Amino acid sequence: MRLVLALLVMIAAAPLRAQDPDPQLIRAADEVALAYVITGDARVDETSEAGLRGISDVLTDRTTVEPGQPIGIDLDRDDLSLLTFLYWPVTESQPLPTPQAYVRLNHFLRSGGMVLFDTRDGDIAGLGGPDGAEALQRLAAPLDIPPLAPIPRDHVLTRSFYLLDDFPGRYQGADVWAEAPPAGAEAAEGVPFRNLNDGVSPVIIGGNSWAEAWAVGENGLPVYTVGSGLDGEHQREMAYRFGVNLIMYVLTGNYKSDQVHVPTLLERLRQEEVIQ
């Protein structure tokens, strides 16, 4: 009887293994599609979708990265190993994902994926009133997140495509957090990060409501207003630039930090030629 059961399990397991992944996910892997977490709040999910579509369009227009249509991820169901970047807007109402989902999330973070947590409260955070901090804590507690620190000015994120000194979204000025540089790493010129996942911080946390700044409607026009007048449009442009830098950072790691050393390497080649 037990043998029959074991055989049944094997027969059941074999097709499970061979089950094809969701075609949407295959597409995401092929096209480097940006992904967002489906929170259950329809308005937030729509904004995420529109925001990622907006930044994908900007990337396609300006860079060699041409992401496909954004993809919504159900953390409880979907395999994250095909993804590279995950946008996670934090809402009060989102139910806690299952433990299995956290196992998948932790593996995703360890193997080189990145999650951008957006508390979308850059306008009210730190004023003492209710903000997204509590919800973020609730959602992120089971994750293996390294110690965090506000992004230092020499972080590669500030120059992975554009040169940036702030990371604005619909709001600006609030600190954005990433993996803290290890103690004493400041001395390492230009590369203040441990050589883990090619130095890519597994999470970026902020409250600047980036998806709202990036969002474009079906008609190709921005959905949300950012600031006011020309200043506001400048802020939106900077939000786009942050988005471009962020995706470049996810895809190329410390590439831009290394390029600091390329002239030195080439110089060394030249010198060796003189010596020989």
Partner 1 sequence: MTGLVFDPLLSWPLVAAVAVLAVLIAVWSFWRGLRGWPLRGLAGLAAAAALAGPALESGIRNKLSDIVLLLDDRSASQSLPGRVGQTDAAVENLTRQLAALPDTEVRRISVTDDPDGTLIGAALSRALAAEPQARVAGVIAVTDGLAHDAPMLPADAPAPVHVLLTGQPQDWDRRLVIEEAPAYGLIGQPVTIRLRIEDQGEVPPEIAASPARLQVTIDGEPSRSLDLPPGVTLDLPVVPEHAGQNVVSIGFDAPEAEVPELTTRNNMAALQIQGVRDRLRVLLVSGEPHAGERTWRNLLKSDANVDLIHFTILRPPDKMDAVPVDEMSLIAFPTQELFMERIRDFDLIIFDRYRVRGILMPQYFDNIRRYVEEGGAVLVSAGPEMSTVESLNLSPLGAILPARPTGRIYEEPFLPRLTDDGMRHPVTAGLPGAPSDDSETHWGRWLRMSQVLPERGSQVVMTGANDEPLLILNRVGRGRVGMLTSDQVWLWGRGFEGGGPQLELLRRIAHWSMKEPELEEEALLADVAAGLTVTITRRTMADTAPPVRITGPDGRTETLALTEEGPGRHSARWTAPEPGLYRLTDGEITRVIALGPAAPREFEETVASPAVLGPLVEKTRGGVVHLSQGLPDLRMVREGRPAHGRGVAGEWIAITPRGAASTSGIMHRPLLPGWGWLLIVAGLALGGWLSEGRGWPRRRAA
Q: Which of residues 247-266 bind partner 1 (CB under 8 A)?
A: 247-248, 251-256, 258-259, 262, 265-266
Nearest C-alpha neighbor of 150 from the set 176, 182, 172, 117: 176
H-helix or E-strand spanning residue 37: strand 35-37
Nearer to partner 1, 78 or 121 (CB): 78
Q: 7, 9, 61, 134: which one contacts partner 1 (CB under 8 A)?
A: 61
Which CB sits closer to partner 1, 175 or 258? 258
- For the CB of residue 132, give the shortest distance to partner 1 in the complex, in Å: 29
Alpha helices in 69-144 (DSSP H): 99-110, 133-140
Give the residue from 259, 51, 59 showing the smallest Cα distance to 159: 259
Per-residue tokens: 148: 């965090």
**In whole angstroms, what is the distance from residue 235 CA to residue 238 CA?**
5
2 scored as a contact of partner 1 (CB under 8 A): no
d(CA 259, CA 265): 10
- Provide the CB-side half-sphere exposure for 253 (13 A, CA): 13
Among 88, 102, 161, 242, the residue binding partner 1 under the rule CB under 8 A is: 161
Chosen residue from 97, 112, 182, 190 binding partner 1 by CB under 8 A:
112
Instruction: Mark the segment that binds partner 1 (CB under 8 A) among 22-30, 43-51, 121-129, 227-235.
Output: 22-30
Contact 111, 103 (CB under 8 A): no
| Closest distance to partner 1 from the beta carbon of 110 (Å) | 9
In the set 8, 11, 63, 138, which binds partner 1 (CB under 8 A)?
63
- The yes or no reply on residue 30 touching partner 1 (CB under 8 A) is yes
> Residue 223 carries which DSSP code?
S
84/263 Cα distance (integer angstroms):
30
Residue 229 in tokens: 């007048």
Residue 38 or 80: which CB sits closer to partner 1?
Answer: 80
Strand partners, 178: 149, 204
Among positions 37, 38, 82, 176, the unique one binding partner 1 when judged by CB under 8 A: 82
Binding-site member from 62, 77, 138, 234 for partner 1 (CB under 8 A): 62
Looking at the Cβ atoms of 81 and 100, the one nearer to partner 1 is 81
User: Could you tell me the two tokens for 237?
Assistant: 């442009």
| Closest CB 106 distance from partner 1, rounded Å | 11
Q: Distance between CA atoms of 16 and 23, rounded to whole angstroms?
A: 16
Q: Does 224 bind partner 1 (CB under 8 A)?
A: no
Tell which residue, 211, 207, 214, has the closest CA to residue 236: 214
Nearer to partner 1, 127 or 262 (CB): 262
Residue numbers at the binding site for partner 1 (CB under 8 A): 10, 17, 20-21, 26, 29-30, 32, 61-66, 79, 81-82, 84, 107-108, 111-113, 159-163, 195, 197-198, 200, 241, 247-248, 251-256, 258-259, 262, 265-266, 269, 272-273
